Amino acid sequence: MKRRYSIIAVLFLASCSHCSSDKTTGPPGGSGPVASVSVTAGGSPAMFIGASITLTAAAHNAAGAALTGQTFTWTSSNPLVASVSSTGVVTGVSAGVASISAAVDTIAGQTSVIVSASAAQLSCSGVTPLALNVGDVHQLTGLERSSLCIGGGAGSEYALIAFNSSLDTSATTSTVALTATNTVAAANAPTPQVIAGGPQQFAQRARRDVGFEMRMRAMERRELNPKFAAARAWFANRSRQTPGRKGISAILGVSNSATVGSLISLNGNANSACGTPQPRGAMIVAISSHAIIAVDTLTPPGGLTTADYQGFAATFDTLIYPIDTLNFGVPTDIDRNGHALLFFSPIVNSLSQGRVGSYVGGFFFSRDLFPLTTTIVGTDTLTGCAGSNVGEMFYLPVVDPNSQYSSFFQDKASVAAQLPSTIVHEFQHLINAGRHLYVNTSATSLEQSWLDESQAMLAQELLYYHISGFGPKQKLTYPTISTGANANGTQLAIALANVQSNLEDVSVYIQTAESSTPYNNTENIQTLGAGWQFMRYMLDHTTAGTQASYSRAIDNGLVSGFANLSNVFSQSLPTLATTYQSWAIAQYIDGTGLTSNAAYSNPSWNFRSVIAGLFSQSTYALLTRPLLPASPVSVSLRGGGASYMRFRVNAGVTGQIVPTANAVASTAVTYALVRTF
């Protein structure tokens, strides 16, 4: 019988927190520095699960002569595949390949060992089949990853959830290939399924162009992160100026005594961070406690009135500013005018020109927080950012009655409907970038795009809560948000305008859960949906402090990405990966009544109910696959992606799941078995 084994990728080599690591001291004698270490097996480097072999380490000098009296530190690259003791005894844990190393200080040698399941282990003969109660969630052990035997009892149904827990923001995938014996199709609830033809429910509704924003964030990281030192030095020099003095800003005429009717000039180049400026004239039309509103002089007539702009300024003061500052922090004020500038311009409209299914609703550009001028730091001359407006601002669309710039935003209603969610979203980006630059002075870069976007999507949800009267951890269902005491009529329509895009993005994600990820810097609406949903999951499972204290801590992070999440939520990277897996399991079983385990729940939203009701779906459209003898499963799983495989084991039968022969898998892929019926 063929042995089945997998090539195992290394999970979290940097931390190696799960590695076996001990020291062995050889006999005294020998001399000279260690130049190399060799590791050999007495016999074959192959073993069965549960068996052991002993490895021998030897140290050599530069001439190749053996040295004695050395102390070796033993480690396994994949302790989930093979563990190693302090004396070099290797024990097989699960099918796969592991690299076993012996080191003297920084000099190491290694050899590979192959672990496979024996013929007996690959058969369920003589094995006590796994028996679960309905709702149980069982993490597969090493041997079960090679041969999972499941008792049918009186007839039982399961979902096997494979999750790629690799914290890798690239497009790297791992293969999951499994073959089943004695299984049949599941017939009972929960019954998620893909809607034929994909997410057709969104075909007639234009969506925000996420790709534009992700490309802008990528440009910022590429061109602006190298200018952090220059920006910090420039800001430190300005901080030594007389307090209250207006900052050096490219926003001409906007001081702390700005007046309505003033004309200013702004760089409107939306496609270049520090390239050639494209000056645009603008007039200040409204000033409030926290906002200055300027309108492009090329705005078509017949649009928003002065009263409309004053209303937007008031909304910023009373609604958006309090929400974002409470949950993310106070914005910087590098231009010392005490306000954020909201620039309404056809520049934004023109970004949607020629588009049909997506539009740009507004944007924040981090370049506007960087200095114009070249700065000298020590012996280094660091160039400035010629495109910067040197002030806290973001860009918004105007009413375009005759579609001069694009087919979007032809009337006041279309602008007003999406404006609050856009402003609260972009204002978070402004706060995040400003605090990474000038407040958290140990930070060395802007936040990773996927985490920054998760925070901005969270801001939209928080705006929804404020308008609707709901709040976190209320397990909102579609009937509740559509007919509840705190949601009615026009108020509901306005509230849903702020959170509907979040829920739409989740709905698209669950239909592509294998190939999508919550953490990637160049992704799409799936990443936004999954990223926001995971952020909400993390906040809902905190046990100390307020939720706002955690979201503020992220915007105030000294590091970025996973390291930031790890610090804020006090989870090591391996623990964080496990948390992502629990979130993926909740994707399937939350809202079904199958389990009371809080780890597999979404306390704020019943996504099954809300998504199905809000988008008129007949089912919760999570991608699932049957795992049947005639239909082996083989999928490429993204880091952060999950595959949901359903099957039934009939009464009196033992089902078996094994890796498909010669398949390549990874220990980064974890498996959880859920009994659903």
Model confidence pLDDT, tens digit, residues 159-181: 999 999 999 888 788 999 999 99
Encode pLDDT of 558-595 as tens digits.
999 999 999 999 999 999 999 999 999 999 999 999 98
* CB neighbour list of residue 98: distance below 8 Å, 6 or more residues apart: 8, 76, 77, 78, 79, 81, 82, 112, 113, 115
Q: Tokens for 207, please give them.
A: 């969506």
Residue 180 bridge partners (DSSP)? 657
One DSSP character per residue, 598-611 reads GGG--SSB-HHHHH
Mean pLDDT of the chain: 86
Mean pLDDT of 241-251: 54
Instruction: Give the distance from CA 486 to its chain's centroid.
Output: 31
pLDDT tens digits along 191-232: 665 444 333 344 345 778 888 888 898 899 999 999 888 888
Residue range 15-27: average pLDDT? 42
pLDDT confidence of 476, banded at 50, 70, 90? very high
CA angle 663, 668, 672 (to 5 degrees): 85
| pLDDT per position as a tens digit, 301-347 | 999 999 999 999 999 999 999 999 999 999 999 988 889 999 999 99
Does residue 9 register a pLDDT over 80?
no
Q: What is the pLDDT of residue 479?
A: 84
**Over the stretch 423-475, which tens digit does the pLDDT of each residue have?**
999 999 999 999 999 998 888 899 999 999 999 999 999 999 998 889 999 99
Alpha-carbon span 155 to 424, nearest angstrom: 51
Could you give the strand order of the β-sheet that contains 279-287, starting from the edge strand earlier in sequence? 263-267, 279-287, 291-296, 340-344, 393-396
Mean pLDDT of 81-106: 88
Q: Identify the band that residue 256 occupies on the pLDDT scale cut at 50, 70 and 90.
A: low
Contacts of 485 (CB under 8 A, 6+ apart): none
pLDDT at res. 205: 59
Least confident of 125-129, 185-189, 410-414, 444-448: 125-129
Whether the predicted pLDDT of 10 surpasses 60: no
Q: CA 365, CA 433: separation in Å to the nearest integer?
A: 9
pLDDT at 430: 98
Q: At residue 634, does pLDDT exceed 60? A: yes
d(CA 104, CA 36): 9
Q: Say if residue 299's pLDDT is above 60.
A: yes
Comparing C-alpha atoms, which of 461, 453, 583 is closest to residue 527?
453
Predicted pLDDT at 343: 97
Write down the pTM of the prediction.
Answer: 0.83
- Under the banding of pLDDT at 50, 70 and 90, the label for residue 257 is low
- Taking only Cα atoms into account, the Rg of the chain, rounded to an integer number of angstroms, comes to 29
How many percent of the chain have pLDDT more than 90? 57
pLDDT at 157 over 50: yes
pLDDT band at 241 (very low <50, low <70, confident <90, very high): low
Helix (H) or strand (E) holding 532: helix 525-540
pLDDT of residue 429: 97
Residue-level pLDDT at 199: 39
Poorest-pLDDT segment among 292-301, 344-353, 378-387, 521-530: 378-387
**pLDDT at residue 27, as a whole number:** 41
Q: Is the pLDDT of residue 188 over 80?
A: yes
